[in-house]
Amino acid sequence: MSATVLFGLCGALLVGLGVYGLIVQPQPLRKILAFNLLGSGVFLLFGVIARRGAAAGFGGDPVPQALVITGVVVAFAATALAVALLLRLFEVSGTVTLRADDGEGRDA
C-alpha cells in the first residue's frame, strides 16, 4: 500500500466521518465541526491527486494545490459565517438547537 493510497483512504475516512456527523449530530456546533472534517477529507483527496499527477521533477501537480488553498479559504469563510450565526442565535434565544419551537418543520 503506497503512501498515496493510504492518504486517499484516510481522506475517504474523513469524508465519511464528516458526512455522518453532519447528518446525524443534532447540535449545530458539531455539524460545523463535521463539515470541517468533511472539507479536510476532500482537500486530502485533492492532495493525493496532486501527488499522483506529479510530473518529472515536481513533487506534485501545482493546480490541485492552488485549488486546495482556495478551498481552505472558502471553508474557513463558511465556518466563520456559521459560527457567527450560531453565536447570534445563542445571544437571541439562549439555546443552540435547530429545532423550531412553533411546530413548523420539526427538524434536528
- The site for other proteins (CB under 8 A) is made up of 15, 18-19, 22-24, 26, 28, 31-32, 35, 38-39, 42, 45-46, 49, 52-53, 63-64, 67, 70-71, 74, 77-78, 81-82, 85-86, 88-89, 92-93, 98, 100-102, 104-108
Q: Closest separation between CB of residue 88 and other proteins, Å? A: 6
Q: Closest separation between CB of residue 16 and other proteins, Å? A: 11
- What secondary structure does DSSP assign to 49-102, as a single string? HHHHTPPTT-SS-HHHHHHHHHHHHHHHHHHHHHHHHHHHHHHHHS----S-SS
